[in-house]
Amino acid sequence: MAENDARASDETPSMEVNFASLVLTLTSSAWMGLGKIADPISGEVKKDLAGARYTIEILIMLREKTKGNLTSDEDRLLKGVVADLQANYAETVFTGGEKAPES
């Protein structure tokens, strides 16, 4: 068993699993959907406003469901990324001539 664990750790990069890493992973996905950053695998920049909106809604749901259970740093991070993403989504839709996806 320990031998399998050692091999698994050699094959995958060591990343700490915590609330902040979850929020940042979802945030990166939303930025890609907004067309603000490139997909790290393909290197392409593609807009997927429906995907970005869905990911932002997941982050909002996390904010609501975890209210009162986060550290002050986690709470500040989550509120900050949601505000930034919502502002960028609105800017993309309203100034970029994009149509907001249907709910």
Specify the length of the chain in residues: 103
5-55 pLDDT per residue, tens = 544 555 666 778 899 999 999 999 999 999 999 998 999 999 999 999 999
65-75 pLDDT per residue, tens = 999 999 999 99
Token output for 19: 């609330």
CA–CA separation, 59 and 84 (whole Å): 12
Indicate the helix (H) or strand (E) that contains 13: none
pLDDT band at 95; cut points 50, 70, 90: confident
CA–CA separation, 38 and 48 (whole Å): 12
* Nearest alpha carbon to residue 33 among 100, 103, 97: 100
Q: What's the pTM?
A: 0.78
CB 53 within 8 A of CB 45: no
